[in-house]
Each structure stands twice: as C-alpha cells, then as structure tokens.
Structure 1
C-alpha cells in the first residue's frame, strides 16, 4: 500500500511540474515566426515525431466493474515505452507504439481455481501497437506558446508476456506460464499534449488495453477478457527543420486569425503611407500656390505686379511705365498723319458676326496704330458701339468685348496697357439711324480717340 502511495505521489509531482512548464504567455504582439499560411501543403510542416514515456501499469481500469475481475485488488507497477508517429492532418495521425513493464494484483476471487488472497504478476516483455490519434482541439487562439492539444487514440496491437500466479493455499506451489504468451489487444486512450518549446511537447495520457484473452492474469475464469491500464507522462520531439512548425500543434483557425491581422497591419501601413504622401503633396501645393500668388499681387493697383514694380505704393490712378514708376507727362502733339493712321484702322476694323473676334484683314492697320502708340507714347481710348439688334445687355457686353479685343491686340504688339482704355457703350450712342441697314452698319463700330 505504501509503495502504491509513493508511486501516485511521484506521478502527481510530475503533473504539477509539467503544469508550470507549459504555462501560457499572452500574445501581446503579432508573431509570424514559423508562420504558415492557411491551407498550405504538408511540406510546410514537421510531420514526424518520436516520443518516450513512463508511468504506472495496473489491472484497474475506468471501464466496467473492477470487482468482477479475477483479482479484486490491483497493484501499480512501473511501465515505460516509446513511439514514432506520422501526422497527416492537424487533427489526425498514426502512431507505432512500444510498451514494456509489469502488471500485478492480489486478493483473488476465482473460487475453485485458486484460494482467495492469491496474487499474480505478469511481465510484459514487449508490446507493439498501431494507433490512430485524433486531436480534438488546439487551444492557442490568443497565445503563441504553451498550446494544449487534447486527443483520443485507438488501434490494435500484439504483445508477448509471462504470468506468474502465487496461490495462497498452504503448501500450494507458485504457477508460472510455460514460455511467452502472445495475444492481440486493443488500446484505447486519451490525453493531453502541452507545447513547451518549438517541436517539444509534454504528453500526459491514459490508456486502457483490452486483451483478447482471459489468461493475462494467469487465471481463466468467467466470460470477460482481461484488461489493464497505463497512465503515463512523456516527452515528444518533432523531427525535421526547426524552421517549420509541428503539424499536430498547428491551429488553422489561429493561422487564419494571424493572416487577417497581418494583412490588416500591412493595409494600415499602406494607408498611413498614402496619408503621409498626400499630406506632403498638400504642403507642396500650398507652397506653390503661395509662390504663384506672389507673382500675381499688384498691391498699388497700377497694373504692374509687385515682383516687377520698381516704384511700389504709387497713388491710385497714376499713370506708370512697365516698371511701375510714374510717367512724366509729356507734351502730346497729335499730327494729321497720326489721325489718318487711326482713321484707317477704324475703316478697316471688322469682327466676326456677333462675336469679338477680329478678322485678319484688320491686322495691318492695327499694327500701324500699335507702332504709333509705342513710338510716341500716345494714350488711346477705345469705345465700342453696336446697333439696336438684340437685347441691350447683349449689345453692352458685345461692345465691351470688342473694345477689349482691340486693346489686347495692341498690347500684344508692344503698347503700354496703362495707356489704353477700353469701354463699351452698347446701342446707347448711335451715329446713324438703326432703321436702315446702312445706318446699323455705321453704328456697329469701335471708335479710336488718340491723345
């Protein structure tokens, strides 16, 4: 009994120590080390593992009534073994298992065969089994380490054993089997695997072995086959490159979560980069607009922008030259030849019908007026007029546009824009009757006043 308690205490201590080793750490940051994208092929994982384990063997099991077995008082003995496993899916793998040890019990109730209180000891020389392992879950949703995999296993095996029965009847001899018995058995188990490092797991399991015979304990009585259990703790090691994760510890759901968070981080980084880029472009645009504004500012309103104005803050209405400086008032003498040039320009001035577009035939005479303005620094007033055809507003706008068109042309030829005034009068100042075509033709005009 004391030996039994000592063994149970040892197993409990192992469980406590193991629990401290596989304590989970919160996943504070997204970890993509050894990350495998969802739905990747088997070549991205470590699928082969080997393991060693040790524990307690006993005829006591969690199935059925132990009082109906051939020996009612089970003993605990040491067992040990190893295995090699191949994982095909995160939830399914095959395992080739090996186990050795002893199974014993006392207090026989096989009345008529041996006396009550007798005992047995079965030495399990070897056992080999092929089992299917089913991983029920992979608990590491928010944790990158310390995952837990509960599992179930079932399979078939073959074993060789020798049994010794000690009869409690006075004078009765100890009975041993002749040679090694060989029988089939069915292992059914459950357990937990704890990931304590990359490719290293602690394996805690419990397995019931259903022997396909009734002579495992040396007594063949009743109709129930013998069985025994094995509670163990062990270490499992993944084979292959340490850069690959272990398939049995792979959580597809967590992988999809990691993929989502990773893509979200990348997308957010792209958005932030675009925002920074747009902000930089906006600052550049504002600086450009500010520089452009400087090129168009005319603070004193003299028609010369500040950038080129050598005489800033000239009084309003002051006539200035191209540098923005006040013009000296020269004595202006308009000769008869000058007036002839202007009359000729008026006579040859034509526009497209209903538009302010000057026709090409008008350009030579306008060029002579432009040279006159440049050479003698004359001032010129342009007054646009129309007949009464159309609305008053339309005629006013058309007369102003035509006068401005003539001014624009003369300025392009070198004339000083500050010395040219363009005004539109519409149909308000006719010089002939609008009732006749000839009169309306005379009223459609741009008058040049040279001074």
Structure 2
C-alpha cells in the first residue's frame, strides 16, 4: 500500500509540473460571440489519471470484506464536448482491487486488466450563469461500461483463482477540474462502480451486487487549434452578459461624445448668432448695426457711410459736375495701386491710402462713381463673374466706410467679357484683372 501511495504522488507531481511548464507557453485565445457555432470552439480533449482502487463506497452499501485496502489504478479517456455543460466521455481504467476481513486472514484480490465505459459528463460550473470561465469546475458523470476481471481468494489458507469474467458495470461519480491554462486542467475525481455481478470479489451469492471505488488525480488536455476557446470552458449566458456590458459601455461613451459635440455645436451657434447680429441692419439704411452711428434712422432716409441722415439741401441747386485732370489723376492712382488677395475679394492694405483719396474726393465734390470689375479668362465664366462683382462691391464697401455716399456708387462685375489685353500671355492676363473707376 505504501508503494502504491508513492506511485500516485509521483504521478500527480509529474502531471502538475508538466502543466505549469505548458501554461507559460499558452498563446492568447480568440474571443467568439455568445452562442457561436460549434466550429468556433475546440470540442475534443484527452486525459490521463492515476489513483487508488478499493472496495469502499460513499453511500454505505454492504461489502463482504470489511477491511479496506488501497491499490494503484490508472486510466485514460477521450471526451467530446457537445454543449458547454455537457459532454460524452469514453474511458479506460485498469489496476486491481483487494480487501480482507478484520477478524481473520481471509482475503481477496481482483485483477482489473481493463474496463471500458461511455459516460455522460456534466460540468456544473457552466450551468451557473454568474461565472464566466471559472477556474474551479465541479462535475458529475454517469454511464455504462464493460470490464474484465480475474478474482482470487484466500479463505482459511486455501487459495482459489477464478477465470477471467466479463460483466457490465455502471460508473457514477463526481469531481473537480482546476483550470491551469485555457486548454489544460487538473482533474481530481471520485467514482463508484456498480458491477452487475456478485462474484467480483471471488465470493458468489448473497444477492447484492459488488461495488468498487476509484479516487484519482489526472490532467486533461484540449485538442485542436490553440487560437480557439474550449467549449467546456464556455458559459454562453455569462459571455452574453459580458458582451452586453461592453456594448453598454460603448453606448455610454457614444452618448458622452454626442453631448460634448452638442455643447460644441451650441458654442458655434452662439458665434454665428453674434456674427449675424454684427451684420444686421435694423433700420434698413444700408449700413450694418455695427457701423451705424445713427441706428434709428427713419425709413427711406438717405444716410452717409456712417448711417446718419444726410443734410437736407436748402434749395435745389443745379451744379455742373466738372471732373478735372487732378481728379482723374487721383482715380488713376487708385486703379494702379489697387491689389486683392489671390482669387479673393479681400483688398490688401497697401491699397488703402489711394482709396482714401478717392473717398475724400467723392465726399468733397459729391461725384458719382461707377466701379467695373474685370477678370482674365482663367477658370469658369460663373466663377469669374462672381469674383469681378465681389471685388467691385468690396471697393464700394470700403469707400462707403470712409464716408462716401453709397447711393452715388455703382458696382458691376463683367468677368472676362471685356478684356483690354491678350489673355494668352501672363502680362495680358494681369492687365485684364482690374477694377475700373469712372467719375461722373
């Protein structure tokens, strides 16, 4: 018996050491959706175990030889997992069972060269919805098998050996599996085996079936691609809960992002409203509120560039407009110095001094001014017409901001329709990009 216990300890230690070494080499396992098809999992596994065989049992059934003796047993099995909590296991167990009477020297020894059983295997941990791939997995199993045994007895000093007998037996047990890695588990189990015979211990008769037990320690290895999860480790309901919680976290993050975007949109809307307020013209005099120094001008009142009413003439005076050479020189200088940003209607600052002189001339002599914007033929007709109009309007707006009468300034855009030079040369295109000033 001492030697048998040593053999069991050595087997257990070797199994644990090998699983620890393999655990360090386990790759990452891919995640799968809850209730994924069977092809996404590993469903086959193999196991080896060793332990103690004896004639005891946990349910108190009577045995003829009342002194328990432990002997070494061993086994291997192949398991096919059908559901996360249910599988079918084919198993081989061998060894010997022995016992004796406490009050005399009568003994028996039954050799168990082989036994084969097919059992249903129920993993209880995968039925518990609150645990996702628990490390400790209790299980139950029960099935039906066939065993071959060779009993011998020593009764009152007489030894009797019987021929090998084959009988049915019913295995049933429970145990714990400890997950060392995703695909390796330590198997600690106990099984009672009800033999459908009364002479398993070499003594026939008595009416009750013989029974023997097997307590074992072993290692189970999952087969297949290591990138796939093991079906026996899966809990679909817990996995579905985990996925829903992840989706909930994504929704919360999306909601927070939407709220942040909404706050940013409100900020932009406020800026646009302020911009519209700056461009608004409440009294309709043609001068924006921002620049209107007389914001309550009555309707149809003529105003100057600052939005204030123009003085009423005391009497109509017909004046002849005389444009002098000096006046034309001021306008020509403004034309020569007028510059815009490329492709835009933004006047560059170097143009301001010449335009200021034109504004002063319009105010002083009450001239009328026609602004004609022109472009070269580069780009589409629609774009050039719009750009020429916008540039003429930009010049008008600047002159009005300096006090010129907007009603005496006309701004028109002609695009590329009135060239003064050949558009085939860069010099010609430069000349065609212009704003013409006409005093009258």
Counterparts of 2:207 and 2:102, CA distance in 1: 16
The alignment status of 1:305 with 2:301, answered yes or no, reads no
Counterparts of 1:193 and 1:260, CA distance in 2: 28
**Aligned equivalent of 1:159, options 143, 147, 150:** 147
Distance 1:315 1:187, change over 3 A: closer
**Aligned equivalent of 2:47, options 32, 37, 51:** 51
Q: Give 1:37 shift.
A: 2.6
Distance 1:164 1:117, change over 3 A: same
For 1:38-437, list aligned pairs within 5 A: 38-65=34-61, 68-107=62-101, 116-138=104-126, 144=132, 146-167=134-155, 169=156, 172-178=157-163, 180-296=164-280, 304-305=287-288, 308=291, 320-324=303-307, 327=310, 330-333=313-316
Counterparts of 1:205 and 1:294, CA distance in 2: 85
Distance 1:133 1:96, change over 3 A: same
Given the two structures, how large is their TM-score scaled by the length of structure 2?
0.60
Distance 1:249 1:314, change over 3 A: closer
How many pairs align?
Answer: 310
- 1:80/1:101 contact within 8 Å kept: yes
Q: Give 1:86 shift.
A: 0.7
Distance 1:376 1:107, change over 3 A: closer
Counterparts of 1:288 and 1:64, CA distance in 2: 88
Given the two structures, how large is their TM-score scaled by the length of structure 1?
0.59
Counterparts of 1:2 and 1:237, CA distance in 2: 29
1:356 equivalent in structure 2: none
Counterparts of 1:196 and 1:80, CA distance in 2: 22
Q: Give 1:263 shift.
A: 1.8
The unaligned stretches of length 5 or more in structure 2 are 21-27, 319-365, 369-405, 409-440
Q: State the secondary structure of the residue aligned to 2:305.
A: coil
- 1:140/1:146 contact within 8 Å kept: no
Q: Give 1:324 shift.
A: 3.8
Higher Rg of the two aligned structures:
1
CA RMSD of aligned residues (A): 3.9
- 2:45/2:220 contact within 8 Å kept: yes
Distance 1:210 1:307, change over 3 A: same
Counterparts of 1:209 and 1:127, CA distance in 2: 11
Distance 1:316 1:185, change over 3 A: closer
Distance 1:149 1:314, change over 3 A: closer
1:433 equivalent in structure 2: none
- 2:44/2:222 contact within 8 Å kept: yes
